[in-house]
């Protein structure tokens, strides 16, 4: 699967400290390399995304299609759902 970032998600991830950025990118690469990355995700009922990945204290909200993951939001778990 290929990973794409929305403009806002791209800005959000680059506002994070470098070690957090690196960890998130590494996890996203791992998820995308799996046969079914949705096995590692949780379905959301919120209106701003279909799925979420957990990466430590951060959450990655995304939509998924057959061969594409579109990252919509990236943030700390305390603030991401507001």
Q: What is the pLDDT of residue 45?
A: 86
Q: What is the pLDDT of residue 59?
A: 96
- Report CA torsion sign: 46, 47, 50, 56: negative
CA gap 79, 27 in Å, rounded = 20
- Report CA torsion sign: 8, 31, 19, 55: positive
Catalogue all structural domains in the chain, each as residue range(s) with its CATH number: 2-76 (3.30.2310.20)
Cβ atoms of 32 and 10 within 8 Å: the answer is: no
Q: What is the pLDDT of residue 1?
A: 86
pLDDT, tens only, 23-74: 999 999 999 999 999 999 999 987 778 999 999 999 999 999 888 999 999 9
Of 55, 71, 51, residue with least CA distance to 20: 55
Q: What is the pLDDT of residue 49?
A: 80
Cβ atoms of 8 and 70 within 8 Å: the answer is: no
């Amino acid at each position: 699967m290929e990973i794409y970032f929305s403009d806002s998600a791209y800005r959000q991830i680059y506002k994070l400290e470098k070690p957090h950025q690196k960890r998130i990118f590494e996890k996203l690469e791992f998820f995308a390399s799996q046969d079914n990355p949705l096995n590692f995700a949780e379905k959301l009922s919120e209106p701003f995304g279909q799925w979420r990945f957990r990466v430590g204290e951060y959450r990655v909200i995304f939509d998924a299609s057959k061969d594409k993951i579109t990252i919509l939001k990236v943030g700390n778990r305390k603030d991401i759902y507001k």
